[in-house]
Structures are given as structure tokens and as C-alpha cells.
Amino acid sequence: MPESTKDLFPERLRAARALRELNQDALATRTKLQPSAISHFETGTRKPSFDNLKRLADALDVTTDYLLGRVEDPHGVAAPDQLYRDIEKLSSADREIAELFIESLKQRKQKDSE
């Protein structure tokens, strides 16, 4: 993840909390986290675990992609997630074809940038 995206999380968390008109204590209560944890997340001194990230997103009614700075829309999902969302529904043979195709695209991109 680019450094600028990492730095965006505390800002997005504060913005989403303000949008929902919650103070840190109220968000802590909704997420069953300590108020000090919310404070640490908002100042950037700590990063949430995956489970805590999900709790924060659910409590604030935003996506984890928004909190992580991957999308601008609070309810949006980043494009790469959509690409892989249905891969489990493919047969193993079709999954192999998809993997080969993606590898071919990756090699083409590398060749173009040389």
C-alpha cells in the first residue's frame, strides 16, 4: 500500500465518525473497543486489526475500502475486489485459464514498461 494511502486511514476514520455525529466514546461503545483505541487509530499511533477494521466500518456504515483510502465513496468497493469477488464460483479449469490470462496481462504490462 502506498504511504499516502496508509496516512489516509486516520483522516478517513475521523471524517466518517464526524459524518455520523459520533464522538470517540460513542464509537468505542458501538464497536466494543476502548475509547483510547479509537484515539490511537485517529492519531495514527496504532493501526487496527482486520477484525477491528471491520467493526469500525460496520459501526460507521462505510466500507473498509473507504476507511483504507482505496475509494472516495464511503459505500464504494475498489475495483480489484470486484475482479476477484466471483473467482470461487469458477470451475478449477476456468480458474486456471483466468490465472494464465492474468499472468499474460502482467507480463505484457512489464514488457510495455521496459
**Cβ–Cβ under 8 Å, residues 8 and 69:** yes
pTM of the complete model = 0.65
How far does Cα 69 stand from its chain's mean position? 7
Spatial distance between the Cα atoms of 95 and 62, rounded to a whole number of angstroms: 31
C-alpha cell at 31: 464497536
Domain for residue 19, yes or no? yes
State whether 16 and 62 are in the same domain: yes
Domain for residue 102, yes or no? yes
User: What is the number of domains present in the chain?
Assistant: 2
pLDDT digits (tens, 9 = 90+) for 66-113: 999 888 888 877 666 566 677 778 888 998 898 899 889 988 988 887
- The Cβ of residue 83 has, within 10 Å, a number of other Cβ atoms equal to 11
Which CATH number do you get for residue 27? 1.10.260.40
pLDDT digits (tens, 9 = 90+) for 38-71: 999 999 999 999 999 999 999 999 999 999 988 8
Domain for residue 87, yes or no? yes
C-alpha cell at 20: 455520523
**Cβ–Cβ under 8 Å, residues 59 and 30:** yes
